[in-house]
Amino acid sequence: MGHLPTSESSCIIHHNCLAVLSRHSAPNVRSQWEEERYPEGIKWKFLEHKGPVFAPPYEPLPENVKFYYDGKVMKLSTKAEEVATFFAKMLDHEYTTKEIFRKNFFKDWRKEMTSEEKSTITSLSKCDFTHMSQYFKAQTEARKQMSKEEKQKIKEENERLLKEYGYCVMDNHKERIANFKIEPPGLFRGRGNHPKMGMLKRRIMPEDIIINCSKDSKVPPPPPGHKWKEVRHDNKVTWLVSWTENIQGSIKYIMLNPSSRIKGEKDWQKYETARRLKKCVDKIRNQYREDWKSKEMKVRQRAVALYFIDKLALRAGNEKEEGETADTVGCCSLRVEHIKLHPELDGQEYVVEFDFLGKDSIRYYNKVPVEKRVFKNLQLFMENKQPEDDLFDRLNTSILNKHLQDLMEGLTAKVFRTYNASITLQQQLKELTNPDDNIPAKILSYNRANRAVAILCNHQRAPPKTFEKSMMNLQSKIDAKKEQLADARRELKSAKADAKVRRDEKSKKAVESKKKAVQRIEEQLMKLEVQATDREENKQIALSTSKLNYLDPRISVAWCKKWGIPIEKIYNKTQREKFAWAIDMAEEDYEF
């Protein structure tokens, strides 16, 4: 295998290049630099990789694992059996009880059956997968029980695969690939109420695969007996491998890891755009407030939508094809049924109550007081409409983004999310960091600032399955600690009384040690209570998404430098790799 360097050292160079540039440069210098290296949309000059790793082939079940139809044992053809195992593996999941899931699955399963199977198996409810399911559970159990040596062997095999296929060379750099393994076949599980749940996600073959690499590279060979769909040499894109998936008909890609030069630069660029927005956001805000009064309905709708995007960090909200995906919306696709207007609510005037499902079917629920003009406009937009009608019927993301482009080069709806997230972090850090705090307390403040952003962006998570239980465990620990404290206090009291009577050194010492014990227990109790609050506050909030995608890492790096916090306390290894550019370039006085 030709050009892949074995040394890691070649990776280091590019971060320093970024750092050197950034210290002296205004944001636009960078694009000049980029233009020097890559004229008009060229992403690389050299690209070589080993191609994808395919999912392991299907291994038929052992003879003794039975499938039953209508109470009778039935031996399935290999293809039908494979699809049946997908269902059997999900039997415990409530998915498999859902009407749509079952219907979609059964339809696709039947396509894999032989004609005899098809004529026999006519009802999913007569299928009994429990024996298969038990077998897989036993397998999982067996895997857990594996010896250290066996586990080590698997680990080594994975490392070998990573070493062989997990890297590529792009323009003199050895780079880590993000997802070099092809997605295995299985049953599609959409998020939320997805109309396609349960459909068969088919096995991807070399014949489905488009390879992208440079002409002067060593083209990866397809597996023996197979051919690639196509080999192309397109240096205007960053992907190495692509294929078309069969559920939505969309294209999937193999691309580089976030630590790569190409991703890092893009990330940097994203934050630079957000910083440019910072410079003109006041002007833009004044503008959209003016537009609330416009004679043109289209302009008013645009201005109200933009206000929501800015104030509430809503997503743009592209139109979606009905029936193809879960019914979710963003700002421009809000419908009348998603908001309620309250002229007065809980002592506040002009409150808008939002209730809709956003990306990933995550609920957005918020009651927001808005300015009178916005409120009146919303009333106007809703006049003579049905609940299922679009709130902004004269607006879509393309109109909005074209307008934004006129306000600032490179401005789109999502830049507001990046801008507001980053500026919020910066403000919150300033506000919450207490210089006298020790390091753990400062980190707590950091997490609080992070949390403020996560709430703004509505980054939620399902409460961990064991949340209630673990909360109860924690509570009983707290209760136990309280009792312990009460005991310790009683002991202290009696020791004091004792010392008063005896007046000797020994009893004085006893008092001192009891005092210390009380203090220690008080501290432990406080720690537990802080932990409980923290956990409760974090119950439904996911911090990682904003940390990874919305917060300019230079803010965090600067904060760490300023307060002497080791960067490792804020970013783990993966995150440090992704944000290497920022760690290199940000000084303690960095301002977003």
Partner DNA sequence: GACCCGACTTAGGACCGAAGCG
Partner DNA sequence: CGCTTCGGTCCTAAGTCGGGTC
Least Å distance between CB 459 and DNA? 4
Smaller CB separation from DNA, 76 or 413: 413
At position 36, the amino acid (one-letter code) is E
With contact defined as beta carbons under 8 Å apart, do 177 and 254 qualify? Answer: yes
Residue among 338, 315, 340, 322 at smallest CA distance from 400: 315
With contact defined as beta carbons under 8 Å apart, do 305 and 316 qualify? Answer: no
Measure the CA–CA gap between 424 and 442, rounded to whole angstroms: 17
With contact defined as beta carbons under 8 Å apart, do 240 and 49 qualify? Answer: yes
How many helices (DSSP H) and strands (DSSP E) are in the chain? 19, 15
Least Å distance between CB 575 and DNA? 7
Smaller CB separation from DNA, 362 or 511: 362
Q: Quick one: tokens of 134?
A: 């038990």
Phi, psi of 231 (to 5 degrees): -120, 120
288, 304, 352, 589 from 371: Cα distances, Å: 13, 10, 10, 36
Least Å distance between CB 19 and DNA? 20
Measure the CA–CA gap between 350 and 370, rounded to whole angstroms: 6
Least Å distance between CB 40 and DNA? 11
With contact defined as beta carbons under 8 Å apart, do 477 and 528 qualify? Answer: yes
With contact defined as beta carbons under 8 Å apart, do 298 and 394 qualify? Answer: yes
Smaller CB separation from DNA, 250 or 438: 250
- Catalytic positions, please? 550
Least Å distance between CB 493 and DNA? 26
Smaller CB separation from DNA, 117 or 315: 315
At position 226, the amino acid (one-letter code) is H
Smaller CB separation from DNA, 39 or 249: 249
With contact defined as beta carbons under 8 Å apart, do 331 and 391 qualify? Answer: no
Least Å distance between CB 153 and DNA? 12
Measure the CA–CA gap between 515 and 506, rounded to whole angstroms: 14
Smaller CB separation from DNA, 350 or 579: 579
Least Å distance between CB 235 and DNA? 10
Smaller CB separation from DNA, 375 or 446: 446
Helix axes 397-407, 413-432, angle to 10 degrees: 60
154 SS3 class: helix
